[in-house]
């Protein structure tokens, strides 16, 4: 009977731990996965002369760090975003809809490259989509 109770308790604890770690952040690969995905999509857009005008005079290392922190905070990773809001960060950068869409496409490509499930890609994009109104100026 003791072994049965111990097994049952172990099962319940394991199930609880799996549920607790089932955040979108965890499904994106946690800190390492989010950092790698972020680095890839920012590098892709920053190196594309057709859409990189807003990245010309920014510290890419800081941009990546803040985006990883923001993604963590928004997807259940337990982080607290310490940056400014999106409207302040993007003020006067004159980001166009074309540039915004290029960034979203680069993000999608990176998520695909990392094997992120469609439901998780959709969930992340749904979280990020409302920021468009604070980012796009033209």
Q: Would you place residue 56 in the very low, low, confident or very high pLDDT band (cuts 50, 70, 90)?
A: confident
Which is nearest to 109 in space by CA: 42, 55, 30?
42
pLDDT of residue 60: 95
pLDDT of residue 57: 84
Cα separation, 95 vs 115, whole angstroms: 29
Instruction: Report domain extents, the chain.
Output: 2-135
Phi-psi region at 78: left, alpha or beta (left = phi > 0; alpha = psi -120 to 50): left
pTM score, two decimals? 0.82
- DSSP single-letter state for residue 55: G
Q: Would you place residue 4 in the very low, low, confident or very high pLDDT band (cuts 50, 70, 90)?
A: very low
Q: How far apart are the first and last CA of the chain?
A: 69
Tell which wins on pLDDT, 11 or 27.
27
Contact 95, 138 (CB under 8 A): yes
Tell which wins on pLDDT, 138 or 44.
44
Q: Inform me whether the pLDDT recorded for 121 exceeds 50.
A: yes
Express each pLDDT in 90-109 by its tens digit. Answer: 998 899 999 999 999 999 99
Q: What is the CATH number of domain 2-135?
A: 1.10.490.10
């Amino acid at each position: 009977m003791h072994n049965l109770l111990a097994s049952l308790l172990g099962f319940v604890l394991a199930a609880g731990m799996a549920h607790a770690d089932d955040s979108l952040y965890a499904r994106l690969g946690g800190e390492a996965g989010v950092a790698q995905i972020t680095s890839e999509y920012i590098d892709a857009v920053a190196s594309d002369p057709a859409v990189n005008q807003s990245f010309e005079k920014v510290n890419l290392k800081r941009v990546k760090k803040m985006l990883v922190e923001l993604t963590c905070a928004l997807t259940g990773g337990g982080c607290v975003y310490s940056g400014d809001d999106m409207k302040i960060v993007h003020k006067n950068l004159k980001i166009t809809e074309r540039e915004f869409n290029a960034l979203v496409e680069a993000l999608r490509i990176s998520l695909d490259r990392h094997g992120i499930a469609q439901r998780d890609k959709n969930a992340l994009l749904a979280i990020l989509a409302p920021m468009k109104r604070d980012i796009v100026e033209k």
